[in-house]
A and B are shown apart, each in its own frame.
Chain A
Amino acid sequence: MADFIQHLINGLAAGTIYALVALGYTMVYGVLKLINFAHGDVMMVGVYIAYATAKQLGRGAQSSLLGVMLIFLVAMGGCALIGFLIERFAYRPLREKPRLTALITAIGISFALSYGFQLDIGFLPGAAPRAFPEIIRPTEWLVIGDRDVVLWNWQVISVLIAVGLMVSLQYLVFKTRFGRAMRAVSYDHRTAALMGIPVDRIIALTFMLGSALAAGAGILYAIKDTAVQPLMGLYVGLKAFVAAVIGGIGHVPGAVVGGLLLGLVEEFVVGYTASTWRDAVAFGFLIIVLLVRPEGLFGRITAEKV
């Protein structure tokens, strides 16, 4: 029983991170019908930005409340800028081209970032993994029995930050004028323009938002995993993409549920079988969901009235 609870805690903590990254995939897919394969790598860049910011702050300041907030802000802002640039210069010129063109471009950007960051020139960090600074000093917040169940402070903080970001996003998408415009663009951008909605700007903002969330998720992942390396985006990105598809790509709450489910499934597989099974089960889970519900758990096959 204690094992079970421990896995549940770990699974939820990991799942919220997947969920945050999955939200970026799903939002961009929503407005552009594009799988932004560079999304995970944008997250990786965000982690390096956070890493550099923490180093600049130094040992004391980086783990103060103000320091941590600054690290999040700088990384999220930096990623928003990168998301903006990628959309503006790589995807927008291809907007009216066949969708495959943009998809290949996305893969190209993904490789450019993940392999470019392995270079050891100038500001680029090189291939070697680095230890992510302890911006949140791990302490045990709750210990049950003889260390049967341990709840770490970073797990709680990570879940709180992730949930906070998700709730804000949910509010933004469903309760604000911007969210309304975003959903209209997602449904039909040509008609959205007829409403006076500046479609290009909405798409750019969506990219920035998704990228900023990825940066936030990346930092949480780095705190959990304690390591930073240029290929981390490919791996986490792929998993989060799976989470988004499981939830029903384009569906915001679906991405959250997909992320949590994937985190839990992986954790239980690792806990009760062997960690080598983790990826096989994650992707097997995807295959099963797609066989049973091709549109994902929450996705809808829309029937249109004529």
Chain B
Amino acid sequence: MSGPAVLGERTPRDPLLEVKDLQVAYGAITALRGISLSLGQGEVVALIGANGAGKTSTLRAISGMLRPKAGKITLRGQDITGKKAHTLLPLGMAHAPEGRGIFLNLSVEENLQLGAYLRKDTDGIQSDLEQSFGFFPVLKDRLQQLAGTLSGGEQQMLAISRALMSRPSLLLLDEPSLGLAPQIIEKIFGILRDINQKGVSILLVEQNAHLALNLAHYGYVLETGEIAMTGPGKTLLASEEVKKAYLGE
């Protein structure tokens, strides 16, 4: 294995998440062939790549939704490889999964309450709710509605808000732009930037490379289960290979 092409310099930060030689397989099918990536405190890291490249599998392995075949995942230096999903939230990691994972049979309010399932500080929960309403005022109007009646964009806003309800230091986001209208995508990505500026680190999986690399400090390009290229977001965005393969230029 030759290792990925590295473009440009990365601004050094305190490490938050470290993934080493991660391998994931579904039965006989290999999804990840040993990938390594890292994310620093306060950083937005984008993971881009085509459908089936292994982006979602990477997030799922990190958040404990599936067990990796090999490799090591550490969060703030603590080994979390193979830990169950529900034990990772208290460590400050929240995952808004592929397809948004909204509980459509529950109300918007109940969805948000579930995001704060492990918290007991009523005042803090309330102030985080207010923060979400500040980001996405439409959620406040729809609080008592069943989440299944929300539009796709509103569901994505709910998914992000719900993930923030655990007050995470690291937010894993899987394709937040999927199936949404351009102006809604723009709004959501604007708010992701705000969220990051408030100190939340973000690991973002996206098919829309342009959006993701514009937001991200650093990016990884995933190809058939391997990291093909890494570099700062803007540098990747400017590179010929990325332009050709992912930006259609």
Known: A191-B97, A306-B152. A196 touches B117 (CB 8 A): yes
Q: Quick one: closest A residue to B85, CB to CB?
A: A193
Q: Does B245 lie at the interface of the complex (its beta carbon under 8 Å from any beta carbon of A)?
A: no
Question: Is the Cβ of B97 less than 8 Å from the Cβ of A194?
Answer: yes
Interface size on A, residues (CB 8 A): 23
Question: Is the Cβ of A305 less than 8 Å from the Cβ of B89?
Answer: no
A180 to B113, CA, bound (A): 9
**Chain B residues, CB < 8 A from A188:** 101, 103
**Chain B residues, CB < 8 A from A183:** 103, 105-106, 110
Could you tell me which residues of chain A, from 182 to 198, have a CB within 8 Å of some CB in chain B? 183-184, 186-188, 190-198
Q: Quick one: closest A residue to B159, CB to CB?
A: A191
Q: Does A199 lie at the interface of the complex (its beta carbon under 8 Å from any beta carbon of B)?
A: yes
Which B residues are within 8 Å of any A CB, using their own CB?
63-65, 84-86, 89-90, 94-95, 97, 101, 103-106, 110, 113-115, 117-118, 148, 150-152, 155, 162, 166, 179
Question: Is the Cβ of B148 less than 8 Å from the Cβ of A305?
Answer: yes
A191 to B105, CA, bound (A): 13
**Chain A residues, CB < 8 A from B103:** 183-184, 187-188, 191-192
Q: Does A302 lie at the interface of the complex (its beta carbon under 8 Å from any beta carbon of B)?
A: yes
Question: Is the Cβ of A196 less than 8 Å from the Cβ of B106?
Answer: no
Question: Is the Cβ of A187 less than 8 Å from the Cβ of B95?
Answer: no
**Chain A residues, CB < 8 A from B95:** 194
Question: Is the Cβ of A187 less than 8 Å from the Cβ of B104?
Answer: yes
A154-178 to B contact mask, C-beta < 8 Å, 1/0: 0000000000000000000000010
Ordered by A's residue number, 20 sampled pairs between the chains whose C-beta atoms are within 8 Å are A183-B103, A183-B106, A183-B110, A184-B103, A187-B104, A187-B106, A190-B65, A190-B101, A191-B103, A192-B103, A193-B86, A194-B65, A194-B85, A194-B97, A195-B114, A195-B117, A196-B86, A196-B90, A305-B151, A306-B152
Question: Is the Cβ of A177 less than 8 Å from the Cβ of B84?
Answer: no
Which A residues are within 8 Å of any B CB, using their own CB?
177, 180-181, 183-184, 186-188, 190-199, 302-306
Known: A183-B103, A191-B97, A193-B84. A305 touches B152 (CB 8 A): yes
**Chain A residues, CB < 8 A from B101:** 188, 190-191, 194
**Chain A residues, CB < 8 A from B162:** 195
Known: A188-B103, A190-B65, A302-B105. A180 touches B110 (CB 8 A): yes
**Chain A residues, CB < 8 A from B105:** 183, 186-187, 302
A304 to B102, CA, bound (A): 10
**Chain A residues, CB < 8 A from B106:** 180, 183-184, 187
Known: A188-B101, A304-B104, A306-B179. A194 touches B155 (CB 8 A): no
Interface contacts (Cβ under 8 Å), in number, total 78
**Chain B residues, CB < 8 A from A192:** 103, 114
Question: Is the Cβ of A197 less than 8 Å from the Cβ of B86?
Answer: yes
Question: Is the Cβ of B94 less than 8 Å from the Cβ of A194?
Answer: yes
Q: Quick one: closest B residue to A201, CB to CB?
A: B86
**Chain B residues, CB < 8 A from A190:** 65, 85, 97, 101
Question: Is the Cβ of B84 less than 8 Å from the Cβ of A302?
Answer: no
Q: Quick one: closest B residue to A181, CB to CB?
A: B117
Q: Quick one: closest A residue to B179, CB to CB?
A: A306
**Chain A residues, CB < 8 A from B118:** 196
**Chain B residues, CB < 8 A from A195:** 86, 89, 114-115, 117, 162, 166
A191 to B64, CA, bound (A): 11
Most buried by B among A193, A198, A302: A193
A123 to B114, CA, bound (A): 45
A277 to B179, CA, bound (A): 55
A45 to B97, CA, bound (A): 43
**Chain B residues, CB < 8 A from A304:** 104, 148
Query: What are the 7 tightest A-B residue pairs by CB atom distance, in nearest-first order?
Result: A196-B89, A191-B101, A193-B85, A196-B118, A193-B86, A195-B114, A187-B103
Known: A183-B106, A304-B104. A194 touches B89 (CB 8 A): yes
**Chain B residues, CB < 8 A from A198:** 86
How close is B61's CB to chain A, nearest CB, in angstroms? 13
Partner of B86, one of A199, A302, A305: A199
How close is B193's CB to chain A, nearest CB, in angstroms? 23
A197 to B106, CA, bound (A): 15
A303 to B106, CA, bound (A): 14
A303 to B148, CA, bound (A): 8
**Chain A residues, CB < 8 A from B166:** 195-196
Known: A305-B148, A306-B179. A197 touches B104 (CB 8 A): no
How close is A170's CB to chain B, nearest CB, in angstroms? 16
A100 to B187, CA, bound (A): 46
Q: Quick one: closest B residue to A179, CB to CB?
A: B110
Apart from A188-B103, A196-B118: 6 A-B pairs, beta carbons within 8 A? A180-B106, A183-B105, A188-B101, A194-B65, A196-B90, A197-B114
How close is A296's CB to chain B, nearest CB, in angstroms? 15
**Chain A residues, CB < 8 A from B85:** 190, 193-194
A32 to B151, CA, bound (A): 28
